[in-house]
Chain A
Amino acid sequence: MIEFVNATKVYGKSSSPALDQLNLRVQNGCVFGFLGPNGAGKTTAIRLLTGVLAPTSGTVLVNGTDVREDPVAVKRMIGFVPDSQEMYERLTGMEYLNFMADIYGVSSADRKARAEKYLDMFMLEDAANERIQSYSRGMKQKISVIGALIHQPPVFVLDEPMVGLDPKASFLLKEEMRAQAQKGVTVFFSTHVLEVAEKLCDQVGIINHGKLLAQGTPEELRSRTGDASLEQVFLDLTGSGEDDAE
């Protein structure tokens, strides 16, 4: 389970917080989509969750463990797929997977079985011995997903995972996210693609200017605002819709 309790993040001398008193709870086995316009605070929230940044105030808990109190224990529970730019590009795909398995202490037999399964699933076997710097954006995203799943984490966090993926890979990733959730894994991801969120998520949260504007199932949000689609809900809440344009 993921919990943000009054989590606030202010960068340096900035007068406005990047994340403002965020309160959020995501249950085990839930696929949670975090939506918001550029600069809304999605990546900051993910960085607080993954222990990359410390909150200015408030707490972030993963399965009851405070990220600030015991960051290493929390990181051990998380499989993180960063933005595709952020990769160890000098390694080959296989070396990257072995590195991630080493860091998370995965046994030889387990890492081999999982690497084979996911490389086959994402059709990366032929590229696994090439350096990541020669990969396309989509391939980088795929190897990053495999690296995050190599230790079978109880919490799966993805930052804009659909960017750069071809339709088939995108479909496979969505299937995998669903499958992980069915196994009881908490899946937390940020996205701009509202259709994906609408179809895939059990719960969505909409954030803007660091504040959580709404949280619930896609159906709940639609009925709450009386809009026909999640896209309209998003535009209404973030002020980017017709009213705003006028």
Chain B
Amino acid sequence: MKGYLLLARMMLKNTITGLNPFDRFRSDKKSKAAVKSMLLGLVLLFALGSVVYAEYELFGVLRSMGQEALLPAMTMLMAMMASLLLGLFQSISGLYQGRDAAWLAVLPVSSRQIYAAKLTSLYLSDLVLNLPIIIPAAVLYLTSRTDLILPILRLIPIFLFLPVLPLAIVSLVSYLLMKLSSFARNRETVLTGLSILFMVGYMLTVSRISAVSGADGEEAVARMLASEDGLMNKLLSGFPPARWAAQGFIGSFWLMLLFCLVSAVGMAVSFLLTGRDYLPTALSAGEKTHKGGKGRAAVSASRAASPLAALIRLEIRDLVRTQTYLLNGVLGGLVMPIALMIGVSSGMSQVGNVGKNEMSEVFGQLDLSLLIIIATGAFYLCSFINQLPATAVSREGRHYPLSLSLPVRQSVRLTAKLLVSLVLNLLSMLILLVPVLFFLPLPLHGLLAAFGLAFLLSVFPAAFCLYMDARRPKLNWMTEIDALKKNFNSYFSLIFWIVGAAVCVITVLLLFRNGDFTPSLIGLTVCAIVLSGGSLAWLYHQAGRLEFLPENAD
């Protein structure tokens, strides 16, 4: 038990240091650090305020329908779904692909204690991520009630147990995937394939559960959210623990108890099944994934066209060959458009002609400029969770000094990283083409315009995030998941993305005149050019100042 507590504390400290945004200013002068901390605090407050505002607006709609209780139910369901979907990649990386397995193995601590400490670390991360989503929704819901004490008392255990069952499921699945892939010769490829299969299977299941039969307009929205056969109820029924959690909070003590019990038993079963074998599995994962091709080298001179091409090749190899980056960074960035595509393809049979015709009818009444603006927004959404630019320099880790000793300008290094990051946006947007083509009656030139505009816009957050990471990289990490996820820079990418979106939305709204969206589209185009051009100019202007290793690198 002592070993578990010590390890859990150490891992928790590691996570807090990685994610503590204010820790970034420790090497600055006091006054400068205070100003920067205040600005950062305001930005974080803005981000939190945005979530609260969105939930407040949604609550208003639900209250008008007499469905206030749906808000906490939705957020609880969302938190559990996200933990299940993204948790698998995080669980494989965090539990089995850390570089610390060999180090932990020599400690006089049992496999189960190490496993428990690792799970605790994942659990606390989930808990912290749930906090800003669940609590505001719960508070908003409580404003509609007269009795407060009992719901609050019920909320505490529900909130604490919310990540437990998803974590139990993904840890068990990741263990099984590791075991299954251990039989394969090329373990990394098989594991990646199995993870993708799981992800696609999960999305297909969700989309089948949530398929809604045709309806139109506001009635459809109301029905989707509130009716017995609506999306929300179907999803809640599809995953009963989410229903128990929601109903437990709203009024049923026994369902709350059932939810907590099922979560605890689920975790206990998962832990008992996998805990003892955890360390050998993690160690074998480390051994086998390191082996490459054997045999005498054919000394081949495969030449790259330029140093930039060589750096791009290096960057791609690093992403593709590091499973944590491949699963969390690359595939994680493609989740949203893949989910939409699966949703569309599997929902087609239900929505079928009726739904598609209705959609075409609604969108067919809109003018081309507005359709292009909507499509641009949808494509721009693809770059939302692209963590590659914000962690591009951090991912170099301890070999960054070697990289800096190479005879290339920092601008060339950053260009290679930026281009590879933007390729992910491009891939993501290409996948999204399917649902966009399905829903929006856009002519080819309109589609190309939206695609181009969104891609141009996505340069803005990418360039700024890359600059920020080059200025303040996190180089001293133990595991790749630390570089990618336990890195505050990756969360900054969301803020830059929101700023880009906000500027565009404001421009579009300001230029909208009497039903004519053409000036708005022109404004959006100017915005995209100015934002992307400006961010690139800034990045390359600053690159000259980033030629040397930053002294404040973490």
Task: Indicate whether B27 reaches chain A with its CB closer than 8 angstroms.
Answer: yes
Residue among B310, B401, B552 making CB contact with A102, cutoff 8 Å:
B310
Interface size on B, residues (CB 8 A): 43
Given contacts A50-B405, A104-B407, contact A134 B291 (CB under 8 A): yes
B407 touches A72 (CB 8 A): yes
Least CB distance from B433 to A in Å reads 31
A80 touches B405 (CB 8 A): yes
Residue among B294, B314, B547 making CB contact with A91, cutoff 8 Å:
B314
Look across to chain B and name the residue whose beta carbon is closest to the beta carbon of A114: B299
Task: Indicate whether A99 reaches chain B with its CB closer than 8 angstroms.
Answer: yes
Given contacts A12-B551, A52-B548, A102-B310, contact A72 B295 (CB under 8 A): no
In A40-63, the 8 Å CB interface with B consists of 47, 50-54
In B279-332, the 8 Å CB interface with A consists of 290-304, 306-307, 309-311, 313-314, 317-318, 321-322
Q: Which of A23-31, A123-131, A196-204, A206-214 has 4 or more CB atoms under 8 Å from chain B? A: A123-131
Least CB distance from A217 to B in Å reads 29
A82 touches B310 (CB 8 A): no
Given contacts A52-B404, A98-B302, contact A131 B27 (CB under 8 A): no
Given contacts A103-B407, A112-B299, A128-B299, contact A47 B401 (CB under 8 A): yes
Task: Indicate whether B107 reaches chain A with its CB closer than 8 angstroms.
Answer: no
Task: Indicate whether A71 reaches chain B with its CB closer than 8 angstroms.
Answer: yes
Task: Indicate whether A183 reaches chain B with its CB closer than 8 angstroms.
Answer: no
Residue among B302, B311, B398, B406 making CB contact with A75, cutoff 8 Å:
B406
Residue among B292, B295, B302 making CB contact with A134, cutoff 8 Å:
B292
Look across to chain A and name the residue whose beta carbon is closest to the beta carbon of B303: A108
The residue in B294, B304, B399, B405 that gathers the most chain A C-beta atoms within 10 A of its C-beta is: B405
In A5-44, the 8 Å CB interface with B consists of 11-13
CA gap between A116 and B291 in the complex, in Å: 22
Given contacts A12-B27, A103-B310, A133-B290, contact A52 B302 (CB under 8 A): no
A-B contact pairs, 22 of them (CB 8 A): A51-B548, A54-B547, A72-B409, A85-B398, A85-B399, A88-B314, A89-B399, A90-B321, A92-B293, A93-B297, A94-B297, A99-B313, A101-B301, A105-B307, A108-B301, A115-B301, A127-B297, A128-B296, A129-B292, A130-B293, A131-B291, A134-B292
* Set of chain B residues within 8 Å of A47, measured between Cβ atoms: 401, 549
* Set of chain A residues within 8 Å of B311, measured between Cβ atoms: 103
B296 touches A126 (CB 8 A): yes
Task: Indicate whether B29 reaches chain A with its CB closer than 8 angstroms.
Answer: yes
A103 touches B408 (CB 8 A): yes
Task: Indicate whether B402 reaches chain A with its CB closer than 8 angstroms.
Answer: yes
B297 touches A52 (CB 8 A): no
CA gap between A101 and B401 in the complex, in Å: 18
CA gap between A72 and B407 in the complex, in Å: 5
Task: Indicate whether A119 reaches chain B with its CB closer than 8 angstroms.
Answer: yes
CA gap between A76 and B321 in the complex, in Å: 29
* Set of chain A residues within 8 Å of B295, measured between Cβ atoms: 126, 129
CA gap between A72 and B303 in the complex, in Å: 21
Task: Indicate whether A86 reaches chain B with its CB closer than 8 angstroms.
Answer: yes
Apart from A75-B406, A131-B290, A131-B291, list 4 A-B contacts with CB within 8 A: A87-B399, A92-B293, A105-B307, A108-B303
Residue among B294, B300, B321, B402 making CB contact with A80, cutoff 8 Å:
B402
In A97-146, the 8 Å CB interface with B consists of 98-99, 101-105, 108-109, 111-112, 115-116, 119, 125-131, 133-134
B309 touches A11 (CB 8 A): no
Q: Write the residues of chain B forming the contact surface with A, with a CB cutoff of 8 angstroms.
A: 27, 29, 290-304, 306-307, 309-311, 313-314, 317-318, 321-322, 398-399, 401-402, 404-409, 547-549, 551-552
* Set of chain B residues within 8 Å of A73, measured between Cβ atoms: 407
* Set of chain B residues within 8 Å of A128, measured between Cβ atoms: 296-297, 299
* Set of chain A residues within 8 Å of B407, measured between Cβ atoms: 72-73, 75-76, 103-104
A95 touches B299 (CB 8 A): no
A125 touches B296 (CB 8 A): yes
Task: Indicate whether A78 reaches chain B with its CB closer than 8 angstroms.
Answer: yes
Interface size on A, residues (CB 8 A): 51
Look across to chain B and name the residue whose beta carbon is closest to the beta carbon of A71: B547
A130 touches B294 (CB 8 A): yes
Look across to chain B and name the residue whose beta carbon is closest to the beta carbon of A93: B297
CA gap between A75 and B293 in the complex, in Å: 32
* Set of chain B residues within 8 Å of A111, measured between Cβ atoms: 301, 303
* Set of chain A residues within 8 Å of B292, measured between Cβ atoms: 92, 129-131, 134
Least CB distance from B199 to A in Å reads 24
Look across to chain A and name the residue whose beta carbon is closest to the beta carbon of B547: A71
Residue among B293, B302, B304, B404 making CB contact with A129, cutoff 8 Å:
B293
Given contacts A103-B307, A133-B290, contact A78 B405 (CB under 8 A): yes
CA gap between A232 and B410 in the complex, in Å: 44
Residue among B290, B314, B548 making CB contact with A53, cutoff 8 Å:
B548
* Set of chain B residues within 8 Å of A87, measured between Cβ atoms: 399, 402
* Set of chain B residues within 8 Å of A11, measured between Cβ atoms: 551
CA gap between A3 and B405 in the complex, in Å: 18
* Set of chain A residues within 8 Å of B398, measured between Cβ atoms: 85-86
Least CB distance from A12 to B in Å reads 4
Given contacts A54-B548, A80-B405, A133-B290, contact A102 B304 (CB under 8 A): yes
B322 touches A90 (CB 8 A): yes
Least CB distance from A148 to B in Å reads 10
CA gap between A13 and B28 in the complex, in Å: 8
* Set of chain B residues within 8 Å of A80, measured between Cβ atoms: 402, 405
CA gap between A119 and B370 in the complex, in Å: 62
Look across to chain B and name the residue whose beta carbon is closest to the beta carbon of A43: B401
CA gap between A86 and B321 in the complex, in Å: 18
Given contacts A47-B401, A80-B405, A88-B399, contact A134 B299 (CB under 8 A): no
Residue among B294, B299, B309, B399 making CB contact with A94, cutoff 8 Å:
B299
Least CB distance from A232 to B in Å reads 33
Q: Produce 1/0 per residue, A67-81, CB < 8 A to B.
A: 000011101101010
B293 touches A91 (CB 8 A): no
* Set of chain B residues within 8 Å of A115, measured between Cβ atoms: 299, 301
Look across to chain A and name the residue whose beta carbon is closest to the beta carbon of B396: A88
